[in-house]
């Protein structure tokens, strides 16, 4: 008899747990916080670049906002068009959301001047307050990609002003911490990026 009672108790405990998970599956109780990536204490450090309006943009622009970061160049005919089509999907979802922005850094500053970036942004219908296209010193762009945003990049040989960039997007939280990397060529990862942006925006509300 005791064995039967024990089995019944275990059954109802499991059933109650399953019901609880089902009931709260769409709430914060069922969600795990996004990890903080990089070495302990890593935050995006100092930088200064120029956006498509000619304004100076520093790391302070990241403070208090959820930011998506990518590297590209305007004359790219390879992966960049698909990356930015997918980035545009993210932009359209969140362009009216306070506390959200996109930072697209060129890897070809010799060509991608402020007017070039302005025209490129216009092609995407990008609000420069939300989707920033940035240029500046080539070496600084490279170092910030690798050391600050933790995105893989390779310095190119020869006289070219480009460096080889990744197709990955970086997700940066309101405290300048890296919270995720997403393959900008894969729709499922871009969709996951949107979900994680919402999670970070919700984190800010709870704080």
Q: What is the pLDDT of residues 111-147, one digit of tens each?
A: 999 999 999 999 999 999 999 999 999 999 999 999 9
| Three-point CA angle 27, 37, 199, nearest 5° | 20
State the DSSP code for 78: S
Give yes or no for a contact between 136 and 109, defined as CB atoms under 8 angstroms apart: yes
Architecture of the domain defined by 48-206: 3-Layer(aba) Sandwich (3.40)
Q: Give me the mean pLDDT over the 70-94 stretch.
A: 95
Model confidence pLDDT, tens digit, residues 15-47: 344 333 333 344 443 345 899 999 999 999 999
Where along the chain do its domains lie? 1-31, 48-206
CA–CA distances in Å: residue 126 to residues 12, 50, 94, 151: 54, 16, 12, 23
Give pLDDT, residue 178: 97
Nearest to 206 by CA among 26, 28, 22: 28
Indicate whether 2 pLDDT > 80. Answer: no
Q: How confident is the model at residue 90 (pLDDT cuts 50, 70, 90)?
A: very high
Q: Whole-angstrom distance between the N-terminal and C-terminal Cα of the chain?
A: 51
Packed helices 80-94 and 187-206: angle between N→C axes, nearest 10 degrees: 30
Quickly list DSSP for 115-149: HHHHHHHHHTT--TTTEEEEB--HHHHHHIIIIIS
Contact predicate 93/194, CB 8 Å: yes
């Amino acid at each position: 008899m005791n064995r039967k009672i024990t089995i019944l108790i275990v059954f109802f405990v499991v059933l109650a747990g399953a019901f609880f998970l089902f009931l709260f599956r769409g709430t914060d109780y069922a969600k795990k916080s996004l990890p903080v990536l990089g070495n302990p204490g890593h935050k995006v450090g100092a930088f200064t670049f120029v956006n498509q309006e000619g304004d100076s943009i520093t790391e302070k622009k990241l403070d208090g906002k959820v930011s998506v970061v990518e590297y590209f160049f305007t004359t790219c005919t390879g992966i960049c068009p698909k990356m930015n089509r997918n980035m545009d999907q993210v932009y359209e979802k969140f362009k009216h959301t306070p506390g959200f922005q996109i930072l697209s850094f060129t890897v070809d500053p010799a060509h991608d001047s402020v007017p070039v970036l302005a025209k490129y942004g216009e092609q995407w219908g990008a609000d420069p307050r939300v989707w920033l296209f940035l240029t500046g010193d080539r070496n600084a762009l490279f170092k910030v990609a690798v050391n600050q945003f933790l995105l893989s990049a390779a310095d190119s040989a020869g006289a070219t002003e480009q460096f080889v960039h990744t197709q990955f997007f970086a997700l940066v939280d309101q405290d300048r911490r890296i919270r995720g990397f997403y393959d900008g060529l894969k729709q499922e990862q871009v969709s996951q990026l949107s979900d994680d942006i919402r999670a970070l925006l919700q984190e800010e509300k709870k704080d």
